[in-house]
Amino acid sequence: MEARFVSTTSKSHLDIVALVKEKAIRYMSSRPGRDESGGDTRCHSLCKQSIQGILESDRLLILNDMLNYRNPHLELAGRYAVKLGSSKDGIPDQFDQVEWHSSLNKDRISGSSVRKHRAADLKKRFADMLDFIDDLRLFDSPLWTQGFDYSKPPEYLAAKLA
């Protein structure tokens, strides 16, 4: 579906541009992972273009749909973590998936025997929690206009519960 605007200088268009930029800033400040991870490589690129003010009008609604899927799922993961008692603040923004996995892998490979055992145990509990969360279907799959699945919300919750 192609987005068409009568004028890219109209007030309503500028309001949409500002709204999408605000959503993009919120998303990118949440440590969403590497640009190339998750298979949806255009999401980060479009966010960066929006933040810089160079996003083309025909991409505006595409990015808006993606962010309407991703940002609420992240907030929902935070609420689940608080309700389940595994987080006091419920702010998944500071959870860095890449760093968390990297730290565990480093401990499993080069840590002391205690750290190796702890890392292996935590990795197993994480995988079990991720399967459990997936079985419960706590997080919806995206609609066809919203890009690909966003792995951070279930991974954040699984890491908190592990």
Rounded mean pLDDT of 88-117?
A: 81
Confirm whether pTM is higher than 0.85.
Answer: no
Q: Where are the domains of the chain?
A: 11-161
The rounded distance, in Å, linking the Cα atoms of 95 and 156 is 7
The rounded distance, in Å, linking the Cα atoms of 73 and 150 is 8
The rounded distance, in Å, linking the Cα atoms of 162 and 156 is 10
Query: Shortest CA distance to 37 belongs to which of 135, 132, 148?
Result: 148
pLDDT of 33 above 50: yes
Rounded mean pLDDT of 79-106?
A: 82
The predicted structure's pLDDT at residue 69: 95
State whether residue 141 is helix, strand or coil: coil
Please state, for a pLDDT cut of 70, what percent of the chain lies above it.
90
Rounded mean pLDDT of 75-85?
A: 89
Rounded mean pLDDT of 29-44?
A: 74
The rounded distance, in Å, linking the Cα atoms of 131 and 4 is 42
